[in-house]
């Protein structure tokens, strides 16, 4: 059992090692690693991670040719395989950094967004959520309502609202508009 902050710091540090300029010889399983870096045209792809409570959200971006999208099942399986490679890399780096293991279980299938950039090329962005396992039960994140936050300020807020009124004061000496018939 680990503290949630320590786990998130370790996962974030492990994911940072997947940055392309960090170590060009690192192998994650992405398309950018295939071919010669100078002689071949490199495919732009990569990933990033973010955290929400006890979940890690992985976003994978890539550019593909339009012909690679069909048949659809094969394309979705390729994207799921990329997520598997990314998670395997993050777990391995997390173990190297913290000397502990971390369990990441998929929460659902990947959400894939495909946008065309031309008649030949497309841009793919996919996200997938993972549950982070091995956390203390005391560190579960609960949702805080606005009322819980504002309780100390509730009385001051009600006092402020009581000061307002819709009536104009009796001693209103504002001048009348001389352009109107009453003026």
**Span 10-51, pLDDT tens digits:** 888 888 877 765 556 666 666 666 665 555 556 678 888 999
Q: Angle, to 10 degrees, between the axis of helix 72-98 and the axis of helix 4-16?
A: 110
Does residue 52 register a pLDDT over 90?
no
Across all residues in the chain, what is the average pLDDT?
77
Judged against a pLDDT cut of 60, whether residue 68 lies above it is answered with yes
Nearest to 57 by CA among 3, 17, 12: 12
If one compares 74 and 175, the residue with the highest pLDDT of the two is 74
User: What pLDDT score was predicted for residue 138?
Assistant: 45
Q: Does 140 score more than 70 pLDDT?
A: no
CA 100/CA 179 separation, integer angstroms: 82
36: exposed, middle or buried (C-beta count within 10 Å: 0-12, 13-18, 19+)? exposed
Q: How far apart are CA 87 and CA 59, in angstroms?
A: 11
Query: Which has the closest alpha carbon to 84: 122, 121, 124, 126?
Result: 126
Q: Is the pTM here over 0.75, yes or no?
A: no
Burial class from Cβ neighbours inside 10 Å (0-12, 13-18, 19+) for residue 128 reads: buried
Determine whether 13 is exposed, middle or buried from the number of CB atoms within 10 Å of its CB (0-12, 13-18, 19+). middle
| The total number of residues written for the chain in this structure | 183
């Amino acid at each position: 059992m680990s503290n949630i902050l320590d786990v998130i710091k370790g996962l974030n540090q492990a994911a940072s090692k997947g940055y392309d300029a960090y170590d060009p010889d690192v192998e994650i399983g992405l398309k950018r690693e295939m071919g010669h870096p100078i002689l071949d045209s490199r495919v732009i792809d990569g990933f990033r991670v973010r955290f929400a409570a006890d979940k890690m959200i992985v976003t994978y971006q890539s550019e593909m040719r339009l012909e690679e999208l069909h048949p659809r099942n094969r394309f979705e399986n390729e994207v799921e395989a990329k997520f598997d490679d990314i998670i395997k890399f993050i777990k391995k780096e997390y173990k190297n950094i913290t000397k502990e293991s971390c369990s990441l279980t998929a929460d659902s299938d990947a959400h894939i967004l495909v946008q065309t950039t031309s008649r030949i090329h497309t841009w793919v962005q996919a996200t997938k959520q993972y549950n982070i396992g091995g956390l203390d039960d005391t560190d579960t994140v609960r949702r805080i309502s606005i009322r819980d936050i504002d309780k100390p300020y509730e009385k001051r807020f009600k006092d402020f609202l009581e000061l307002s009124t819709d009536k104009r004061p009796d001693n209103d000496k504002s001048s009348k508009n001389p352009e109107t018939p009453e003026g």
